Structure 1
Amino acid sequence: MKDKVNVLFMCGYGLGSSAVAEMLVKKGLAAEGINADVKHTAVGELNSLMDWADVVAISKKLSEGLRFKEDTHMVEVVNIMDGAGIAKQIGKIVDAHYPYARKEVL
């Protein structure tokens, strides 16, 4: 059994906004005691990373019309600067589906 959850951030081009969100959320996940691998990419690269991702963080507008695996968990990103808030949303998914990825926070 793996001890991490894989989180994928997607934006239109895989550069600015998803890279900023990745950095901020990594800090938030560490504060939440969640062991995660976090990557960012462009929407066009979705298919190459779908088997890797447990959680996909994406804006609602970008997700419209995209197809995700049935067991992919989604986090709707409203404010990319709210790393702590996004991490809390991911934390709820972790608790429900990937409890092995949560570690004790000292």
Structure 2
Amino acid sequence: MNKLNILFVCGAGLGSSFAAQMSAEDVLTKLGVTAKLDHCDISSAVSMKPDVIITAENFRTQFEKFTIDPQTAMVYLKNIVSKAEIEEKLTPVLQAKGIL
């Protein structure tokens, strides 16, 4: 794998996805992981092929209606700016992808 590609998704692709991205940047720095980070809205996310999608738990049912590449790991957060929750849920994904 080249560089890990993580996509942060919210309804409009502006506010909460960007807030989650900023929190995740700190977590990734702490873990020593270099990744390409981007954020967008749900409808745009469906056509993209990131390694990981990070989004709020309340978007789970919307994502379940879409066909997402099976190689894309989905991370659902209850608190999108909680660095502790991001680290807790992202670490096993990074391990499974051989990044950690």
TM-score, normalization by structure 1: 0.80
Equivalence for 2:68: 68
Equivalence for 1:96: 96
Distance 2:27 2:13 in 1: 20
Matched to 1:18, the amino acid is S
Q: Given the superposition, is the C-alpha separation of residues 98 and 5 from structure 1 closer, same or farther in structure 2, using an over 3 Å criterion?
A: farther
SS of 2:37's partner is: strand
Matched to 1:76, the amino acid is Y
Of all paired residues, the percent bearing the same amino acid is 30
Matched to 1:38, the amino acid is L
Structure 2: stretches of 5+ with no match in the other structure: none
Shift of residue 62, structure 1, vs aligned partner: 1.4
How many residues align structurally? 97
Question: Alpha carbon RMSD of aligned pairs, Å?
Answer: 1.6
Distance 2:47 2:66 in 1: 14
Q: Given the superposition, is the C-alpha separation of residues 88 and 32 from structure 1 closer, same or farther in structure 2, using an over 3 Å criterion?
A: farther
Which has the higher relative contact order, 1 or 2, with Cα contacts under 8 A spaced 6 or more apart? 1
Distance 1:84 1:40 in 2: 20
Q: Given the superposition, is the C-alpha separation of residues 92 and 31 from structure 1 closer, same or farther in structure 2, using an over 3 Å criterion?
A: same
Mapped contact 2:55–2:75 kept (Cα < 8 A): yes
